[in-house]
Structure formats: C-alpha cells, structure tokens
Amino acid sequence: MTQTISINDSGRLQLTPLEIPSRLLLGPGPSNAHPTVLQAMNTSPVGHLDPAFLALMDEIQSLLRYVWQTENPLTIAVSGTGTAAMEATIANAVEPGDIVLIGVAGYFGNRLVDMAGRYGADVRTITKPWGQVFNLDELKTALETHRPTILALVHAETSTGARQPLEGVADLCNEFGTLLLVDTVTSLGGVPLFLDAWGVDLAYSCSQKGLGCPPGASPFTMSARAVEKLQQRQSKVANWYLDMLLLGKYWGAERTYHHTAPINLYYALREALRLLSEEGLANSWQRHQKNVEYLWEGLENLGLSMHVEQEYRLPTLTTVRIPAGVDGKAIARQLLNEYNIEIGGGLGELAGKVWRVGLMGFNSRKESADQLLAALRQVLPK
Amino acid sequence: MTQTISINDSGRLQLTPLEIPSRLLLGPGPSNAHPTVLQAMNTSPVGHLDPAFLALMDEIQSLLRYVWQTENPLTIAVSGTGTAAMEATIANAVEPGDIVLIGVAGYFGNRLVDMAGRYGADVRTITKPWGQVFNLDELKTALETHRPTILALVHAETSTGARQPLEGVADLCNEFGTLLLVDTVTSLGGVPLFLDAWGVDLAYSCSQKGLGCPPGASPFTMSARAVEKLQQRQSKVANWYLDMLLLGKYWGAERTYHHTAPINLYYALREALRLLSEEGLANSWQRHQKNVEYLWEGLENLGLSMHVEQEYRLPTLTTVRIPAGVDGKAIARQLLNEYNIEIGGGLGELAGKVWRVGLMGFNSRKESADQLLAALRQVLPK
C-alpha cells in the first residue's frame, strides 16, 4: 500500500458520543417509538439472506396485510422512508403517457403530481381548498372527464389533517378501468382502513406514525390488478431501487438478492407490528379516536379551534388554527426549547395559519395530550 | 366512527418478542456494527427538523468529507441503502441521451448498466473477466472511442474482491470533458481513497461495510463540476426521492423539508463516523490491510487460494476459490448453522466458484479471522 497523498484532516471532527435531547414528538411525524421497538432495533444485525431474517420478512408481510386489511401477496416494506414508498407506487404503476388523475387538497397531493410527472405521466388534477375532501360526485365527474389509468388520492393528508373517505371510490374506478392509488402515510394503524373492501390497488405508508416505529422502512402494497399492469409494461420500471419486479423476487419465494435491507429497521418494524397485532387493529383505531377527541376538547377549552370539519378530521393528526396575533413559530419554538415537546407548523397554503399536532402510535395516549395542553396553557398569550 | 366491515384477522400473527441469532458477519456485508453504534441508534428519535438533528446532519457531512477525502459541499447520506445512493449518482448525473461508459468486471458494473439504461443513458461498456481491473491504456482507448459524458467505474467490486486503481483516470476524463463516477461501496473507510486528489466527480457508498454501521443511510457526494451539470439539466431529475436539487436544500443552509429522514440510522452513522475519525483514517486503512493479510496467510495455510491477484486484492473483501469437489454452499451453510459465522457465496460469473469473505469495519480484527479460520479447519474436507 503505497500512498503519496497526505490525508486532509479538516473534516475530522473530534466529537463526544451522541447526546440528543429527549423530546415528546407531537408533530406530523416522526412520533416516539415504543421502548420495546427501540430495543429490538438494537439487536445485532444478521445478513439480509440469513434464514432468520427471511422468516422475519415473512412475518412483516403477514402483519402488514393485517394492518392494511388486504390479502395482496405483494405487500412489503420498502427500504426507505414513506416518500420512497410513495415513489414506488408511482414508479411501478405509471408508464410514460398514462393519464394519472390526482386529487390535490394539500401538500402531499402536490408531491404526487410532481412525482408522477417525472415518470412521464400525463398528469391531471382536481383540487379542493386545503383541509377539505372530495365527494363521490366530484370524483365521478373527474373520472368521466379524464378517463385516467390511475386515480391517486391521499387518504390522510398530513399537511391538512383531513381524512378523504374512500368508500365507493373503487366502484367508480371500475367503470373506467382505473387503478386506485392511495396515500395512507398518516392513517395506517391509527385510522380505519380496509384496502381490499375499499378496492384500493396501490398503497403506501410510513413506519413512524401510526405504527410507532422509527422512520426508514416503509409499507407498500399492490393488488393483483396492479401487478398485472406491472407485468405487462412495455418499458422497464424507471427506478431500479424500487422496481417491484426485482423486489418481489427478494420478498417472494425466490429470495433473489436485490439490495442489502436496512436489517435493524426491519427488526423495529416487526416489533412495532407485533405490538399492534397484540393490541388489535380495532383497539388501536379506537384508542387513536378516543385520545384525539380528548385533545380536541382540551384545545377548545384553551380557546383554540380546529381547521378541519369534525367529520373529516384525522384521529392521528390535527390542524389547529393559530389565533390572530399569535406568532405560531415562536410558540412552537418555545414548546420545543422549554418543554421538549415538538409540534409542527403549517405547510404550503396553511403555512403560518395552523399548527399540526400528531397523536400517533405509541404517542396516542391521554398523557401526551395532557402534557401538550399543560404546556400550551403556559405559553399561549392569556 | 361507523364501520360495517368486519376485521380480517388472518394475518394477525401472535408472535413472541424478537429473537435473532447472534452472528459473526464475515460475508460481503452487512458486517457487525460496533456496540457503541448500536447503542446510539437506540436513542429515542427527534424530529427531522429539530435543531439537534440539523447539527448532527452537519457533523455527518463533515465526517463523510473526511473519510472520502473531499471538500465537496454536496456530501450527504441518502435515506436508503447503498443501492439507493448508487441510483442517486445515476439519477442526478444522467440526462436522457447522455453517453455513459461503464467498466464492467463484476456484478455491480452490470447493475450500473441496468440503472443507467433506465434513466435514458446511451450506455457503452468495456469489460474484463470478473476479478480483473482496467488499466489506463484500456480506459484511454475507450474514452477516445466513446467520448462519454460520464465514465463509471467500480473502485471496489463487491462481487469479485478486486480494487480498480483510480490514479490517473481523471486526467484522461478531463481530456474529454467526462465526469468520473465511482462505486466505493466496499472501499470507504477500509481502503485508501482520495476523491479530490483522484478527481472523482460522483461517488456513493454504504454504511454497513467499512464504516461499521447498520445498513440504511448511505454516503453520497458530487463535485462542483457534477453539480453544475445538475443545475443545467433540461429535464427534471427522474427520481423525486433522490433529487439532489431538493435534497441539497434539506442538507444545505435552507433546511427545507424534503422527507422524514431515518433519524435513528443517522444517529448510528454519526457514531460510526465519530469512531472512525477517532481512530484516524490512515490507521483504519492500515488495520484493514494488516488483518486481511493475516487472513490470506491463514487461508493459504489451509490450502485455499485467492481469486484476485494480490496487487489488486481488496483489504475489505476477499474472494476465496472453492476447491474442486467441495460443495461451497454446504460449507457456508454449516458455518452459519454450526458456528454462527456468515460468509458469502459467489455472484454471477463467480457463482459456485468462490466464497466471499469480508473483514470490514468493526469486524476487521485478528479475532474475526481466527474465528473463521478455526471453523474452516473443522468443516473443510481433509
């Protein structure tokens, strides 16, 4: 080993071991993970083709089918964050020229528009003010007008806290041979969701909200109908990392190497799903609903009002209107610095207008709401 | 919350908490993580825009510049595995129609070919038998012939254990205005690497080999010259998740939200880089070299021979020829099941012909080599 170049030490920081403040994460995500989940993640990694790991992948697949209420064989966790899983649905479902109709009523609808365009889709949109949802008549008219290959809707809009009802949408899609693609990032685990009964063809989520697991390994599923479209593609999936024809062989019977999975995150995800399965899906949904109603009441008692109509309000994430004359950013900063509580600000149309408060997964507890309400009582102007 | 659909419990597994066997990972990766790194990863997550997390991102960037020996401002960790970081180099550097010349002497060269094609590149290749490397004359001729926009080489071919020398390649590239893209997945941290001195424009790596961190957050860097090409693109980067124009704003001064980072993996990566910085890069390179030479000697004493000529052999990963008449898969299985030691099999051209033995990061220790040699002494036919 001869080497004549001398090493540049300018980036060689002399650091102490990691010290991170302990926060109560009540923003739009990530939320705190259950201690058992953190502990599982700490287990020493094994190989991505180790029989013990392959068995764990099977468990994850089965549990994901349970929490999503689907029988889709192609139900896996993508090795990236929720955004990667979102991109996976688009990358695999869209062929250049496909008409993709996207319901935009928030930031994540717009993200779908941007992504689908990058994959060559002929993107059409329908829009609503941020915080509202589409009704069946509006969707029907849009389907008739655009006759899309894919209709993409955000079930739980993380930027607005609105829940888009999905019952009956698939019946409309069937009339036009349209695949239904759904963002469940902020609903999975915390909000009733029946993918098969509702006829959803493609869905994605994340690990760090309703599932209560650190971010980085993200649920993805596609129906037999969507797989059929994938198999009949004229062009390769324009994304190697997220190509389900390749990933399906790693998660499926072949066990063909594709990439080195983020092993420890899968440990954590398995553990989070195990805890959710132990609690039971119906219990988890009810817990989220009960605790958020308690939060809403507490916020109203402080004189605050919610941005979304109660019927369409998410139990996982609440947008709270910032009262006139209050500096929303300063309040959030004070909560973080003085109380170690994180809440989120508004995005896009709602920037400066709302706070976003999440009660998700492990954090959907009365104690979390109480802690936030007590702190708000201190920091809000009287 | 009315709901008339009943919950299907078929996927609701009743599982015990995670139990995973403890393995010594001496395959092509992942390798075992340092206990301190695992411990750091176990820290409760904070938000991806928390000031404490943003400070940690800066530390990671600085330390990555150190281990890669580059001053590139755009040096970050991608929120995915090494394959995602690989795809990030292609997605950001390639515009449809660009001529991309790829040196293929193993599995990962071929993967680059597949990826570059998906991004619309006009792909040209030069090839070598697996286990060999390209010399400057061969590269010069190929550059003259193809006049590519990008030359992609694999510095450390994880499928063959060969180290492609990079000194002098950039001088050739400069003659033709060609960007130099390099795979350092199996070299970063364990093999001398001087990105700036060697004139590398785009590079990627992974966390779980030379850096000794669990997989899932992956080093990525691009030079000012490569950033300039990115900024002058006629088309959007055909990958939203990996678009450096967006990611650069999250990792840079703007701190614009892009996606929720895999927080805990960044904790682990920061800690792994901190330990490497504490040891010092030169010491780490020497440690890898010293321990692998000890391993080679031990393997030779067992009558085994290495696949790659010593001059080009990687210190991180060794391909060992499977002796005639020996069932390589059965030996690997026995090592795993009876000794909890993982080694890898061959890929592609080398399938069934070699084992792949990694001594990387935390695992590059005399004890690891001894443990493997002792086990091999037991399981190899006398």
Q: Does A208 touch chain B (CB under 8 A)?
A: yes
* DSSP H or E run through A24: strand A24-25
- Identify all chain B residues contacting A41, using CB atoms and an 8 Å cutoff: 41-42, 264
How far apart, in whole angstroms, are the C-alpha atoms of residue A130 and residue A56? 40
What average pLDDT is seen over chain A?
97
Using alpha carbons, select from A84, A259, A88 the residue that is nearest to residue B78. Answer: A84
What pLDDT shows up at residue A3? Answer: 54
- Give every CB contact of residue B348 below 8 A, 6+ residues apart in sequence: B106, B107, B110, B130, B159
**How many Cα atoms are found within 13 Å in the side-chain-facing hemisphere of B376?**
24
How far apart, in whole angstroms, are the C-alpha atoms of residue A235 and residue B281? 44
Q: Does A258 touch chain B (CB under 8 A)?
A: yes
Using alpha carbons, select from B119, B122, B87, B85 the residue that is nearest to residue B101. Answer: B122
Residue type, B341: I
Q: Does B272 touch chain A (CB under 8 A)?
A: no
Q: Do B260 and A12 touch (CB under 8 A)?
A: no
Q: Does B59 touch chain A (CB under 8 A)?
A: yes
Q: Yes or no: say if B45 and A208 are a contact pair by the CB < 8 Å rule.
A: yes
Using alpha carbons, select from B187, B170, B247, B244 the residue that is nearest to residue B67. Answer: B187
Bridge partners for B181 per DSSP:
B152, B202
Q: Please spell the DSSP secondary structure of B136-204, one letter per residue.
A: HHHHHHHHHHH--SEEEEESEETTTTEE---TTHHHHHHHTT-EEEEE-TTTTTTS---TTTTT--EEE
How far apart, in whole angstroms, are the C-alpha atoms of residue B214 and residue A264? 7
Q: Do A41 and B42 touch (CB under 8 A)?
A: yes
- Condensed to tens digits (0 to 9), the pLDDT of residues B58-90 reads 999 999 999 999 999 999 999 999 999 999 999
Q: Yes or no: say if B29 and B186 are a contact pair by the CB < 8 Å rule.
A: yes
- Identify all chain B residues contacting A56, using CB atoms and an 8 Å cutoff: 18, 20
**pLDDT band per the 50, 70, 90 thresholds, residue A2:** low
How far apart, in whole angstroms, are the C-alpha atoms of residue A67 and residue A284? 10
Contact residues, B window 305-334, toward A, CB-based 8 Å cutoff: none
Taking CA atoms, what residue in B is nearest to A270? B18
Q: Enumerate the H helices of B216-339 as residue ranges.
A: 224-231, 244-251, 263-279, 281-301, 328-339
Q: How are strands ordered across the β-sheet holding B354-358?
A: B317-321, B354-358, B344-345
Question: Does residue B48 sit in helix, strand or coil?
Answer: coil
- Condensed to tens digits (0 to 9), the pLDDT of residues B140-164 reads 999 999 999 999 999 999 999 999 9
How far apart, in whole angstroms, are the C-alpha atoms of residue A363 and residue A23? 11
Q: Does A263 touch chain B (CB under 8 A)?
A: yes
* Mutant choice from A14, A66, A241, A340 vs B, greatest count of B C-beta within 10 A: A241
CA of B141 to nearest chain A CA: how many angstroms apart? 27
Q: Enumerate the H helices of A280-324 as residue ranges.
A: 281-301
- A4 pLDDT exceeds 90? no
Number of C-beta neighbours around residue B6 at 10 A? 10
**What domains are there in chain B, each with its CATH number?**
24-30+281-379 (3.90.1150.10), 35-277 (3.40.640.10)
- Identify all chain B residues contacting A355, using CB atoms and an 8 Å cutoff: none
How far apart, in whole angstroms, are the C-alpha atoms of residue B125 and residue B147? 12
Q: Does A55 touch chain B (CB under 8 A)?
A: no
* DSSP H or E run through A221: strand A218-222
Strand A354-358 with A344-345, pairing: antiparallel
Using alpha carbons, select from A313, A357, A299, A295 the residue that is nearest to residue A131. Answer: A313
To the nearest 5 percent, what fractions of chain A are helix, strand and coil?
40, 15, 45
Place of tokens 């660009």: B98
Q: Does A50 touch chain B (CB under 8 A)?
A: yes
- Identify all chain A residues contacting B278, using CB atoms and an 8 Å cutoff: 14
- Show the tokens assigned to B371: 């443990």
User: In Å, what is the CA distance from A221 to each residue of A36, A68, A76, A203, A210?
Assistant: 26, 9, 6, 5, 17
How far apart, in whole angstroms, are the C-alpha atoms of residue A32 and residue A359? 10
Using alpha carbons, select from A194, A157, A177 the residue that is nearest to residue A313. Answer: A157
Pick A63's closest partner by Cβ from B11, B38, B43: B11
Q: Yes or no: say if B82 and B301 are a contact pair by the CB < 8 Å rule.
A: no
- Condensed to tens digits (0 to 9), the pLDDT of residues A311-320 reads 999 999 999 9
Q: Yes or no: say if A159 and A106 are a contact pair by the CB < 8 Å rule.
A: yes
Phi, psi of B263 (to 5 degrees): -45, -55
How far apart, in whole angstroms, are the C-alpha atoms of residue B132 and residue B104? 10
Residue type, A28: P
Pick B62's closest partner by Cβ from A1, A11, A264: A11
Q: Yes or no: say if B350 and B160 are a contact pair by the CB < 8 Å rule.
A: yes
Q: Yes or no: say if A40 and A270 are a contact pair by the CB < 8 Å rule.
A: yes
User: In Å, what is the CA distance from A260 to each residue of A45, A257, B56, B80, B300?
Assistant: 11, 8, 25, 10, 30
Contact residues, A window 10-39, toward B, CB-based 8 Å cutoff: 10-15, 17-18, 20-23, 25, 27, 29-30, 32-33, 36, 38-39
- Give every CB contact of residue A301 below 8 A, 6+ residues apart in sequence: none
- Identify all chain B residues contacting A277, using CB atoms and an 8 Å cutoff: 12-15
Q: Do B347 and A257 touch (CB under 8 A)?
A: yes
**pLDDT band per the 50, 70, 90 thresholds, residue A382:** confident
Pick B259's closest partner by Cβ from A36, A81, A271: A81
Place of tokens 């000012």: B224
Using alpha carbons, select from A80, A317, A295, A287 the residue that is nearest to residue A209. Answer: A317
Taking CA atoms, what residue in B is nearest to A191? B1
- Identify all chain A residues contacting B262, using CB atoms and an 8 Å cutoff: 80-81, 214-216, 262, 265
- Look at chain B and count its residues: 382
- Give every CB contact of residue A109 below 8 A, 6+ residues apart in sequence: A102, A103, A125, A127, A152, A154, A157
What pLDDT shows up at residue B284? Answer: 98
Strand B317-321 with B354-358, pairing: antiparallel
Using CA atoms in the order B292, B297, B301, B304, what is the torsion angle rounded to 10 degrees?
Answer: 60
Residues of chain B with pLDDT below 70 are 1-3
Q: Do A214 and B5 touch (CB under 8 A)?
A: no
- A125 pLDDT exceeds 70? yes
**pLDDT band per the 50, 70, 90 thresholds, residue A1:** very low
- Show the tokens assigned to B354: 């070699």
- Identify all chain B residues contacting A20, using CB atoms and an 8 Å cutoff: 43-44, 46, 52-53, 56, 267
Q: Does B215 touch chain A (CB under 8 A)?
A: yes
Q: Yes or no: say if B155 and B193 are a contact pair by the CB < 8 Å rule.
A: yes
Q: Do B236 and A117 touch (CB under 8 A)?
A: yes
Using alpha carbons, select from A73, A94, A95, A83 the residue that is nearest to residue A249. Answer: A73
- Identify all chain B residues contacting A64, using CB atoms and an 8 Å cutoff: 11
Q: Does B246 touch chain A (CB under 8 A)?
A: no
